[in-house]
Chain A
Amino acid sequence: YIHIINKADMAASKGLKILVGCKRVIDYAVKVRVKPDRSGVVTEGVKHSMNPFDEIAVEEAVRMKEKKLAGEAVAISVGPPQSQETLRTALAMGIDRAIHVEIPLAQLEKLQPIHVSKLLAKVCESEKPDLVILGKQAIDDDCNQTGQMLAALLDWPQATFASKIEPSQDSKQLRVTREVDGGLETIDVSVPAVVTSDLRLNEPRYATLPNIMKAKKKPLAKMSPDQLGVDLQPRQEVISVEDPPVRKAGAKVESVEDLVGKLREKGLVK
């Protein structure tokens, strides 16, 4: 579909509409344990919270609102009923309203970025945001795909691994500084666009209890994948999940002769 933006001066307009993606993941500080049957990791009774890169995305949207660059910020989460708590945190940080795309438990484990990006694309059709900000990757699957796939589905430009977002020199585009191998790259993208947040984009504020309570009054809409007409058929099968191999201790040698001797022992040198 085509979404044409009036390329008016960004500073003068009533501000961008931002859609922010949040994912509920196992808390970053929790020691993850593999299930005995090696089918996955233990999630029952384990502390969950918003993906740290998504917190950075939410913070950026709120800051853009404070700078009057954005007019409205909407948070969206694709996940189980408990994702509502994640959305409430986003609302407490300053997001205006939230959308929860609820996934039945049976389909949750097989959900992949391809499905999530299709769901988000459908929501973008009705919400028509000017900017979508997602965390660069989730700390549970480390896929780093949803943002890129979403941009491709919508045929929008993408600026991934953003460490800075500001208006371009002529204020008609967004100037995004990206963290790439070996340094920083600065690009101008036209809106609407998809941006994924990197660690150094900002420092997210803490959602304190008073703000969490105030957030309960903000609108939270529910949607289902069927309503959006997206097929959640799994495309991958998890064969096994295992702990990484335990690192074997190394040995220190005193001389070159020792080193050669030890290498001979291991059959690495004749």
Chain B
Amino acid sequence: KLQSSISDPMTSPPPQLRSQVIALYKNLLYMGRDYPKGYAYFRDRLKSVFLKNSGVKDPDQIKVLIGRGEFVIKELEALYMLRKYRALKHRYYEKDEATTSATTSSSDKEAPTKTQ
């Protein structure tokens, strides 16, 4: 572990890691199409983040960064699902639930006093 952490600037990382990074970039870019602030906003930030880390040579460090990227994919999936669910709930159910709760609470108020 100690030897691998001493980075040798002469050796480049294994080619599998390079293709993994490229695949990660493509997958994130694809997900950017649904980003609330727009594809262009997402793409510009994605590009700058990947460029910022392009100098990293240590394979362990690259794997950590890939893991971070995959975590972002999971976060985006959760964001998109939540947004869509909330939008549909608001559009199709909010009024119904408001009506149901209004009618239930008014009838509930009546029932106890009647039995008393």
Contacts and interface: CB of A to CB of B under 8 A. Distances in A.
Interface size class of B (residues with CB under 8 A): 20 to 34
A55 to B, nearest CB: 9
Given A29-B36, A199-B93, A209 B88 contact: no
Interface in A181-222: 181-182, 199, 203-206, 208-210, 212
Contact of B30 (A29, A52, A139, A208): A208
A210 B27 CA distance: 7
A203 to B, nearest CB: 6
Contacts of B100: 181-182
Interface stretch (B2-10, B41-49, B58-66, B73-81): B73-81
B114 interface: no
Contact of B31 (A29, A52, A204, A208): A208
Q: Determine which residue in B77, B80, B81, B84 has the highest number of CB atoms from chain A within 10 A of its CB, and name it.
A: B84
Contacts of A210: 23, 27
Grouping DSSP codes into helix (H, G, I), strand (E, B) and loop, the A interface class, with mixed when no group exceeds half, is loop
Contacts, number: 39
A206 B81 contact: yes
Interface of A: 28-29, 52, 139, 181-182, 199, 203-206, 208-210, 212
- Shortest 9 CB-CB contacts between residues of A and residues of B: A209-B30, A206-B77, A209-B27, A199-B88, A203-B81, A52-B88, A28-B87, A52-B84, A209-B26
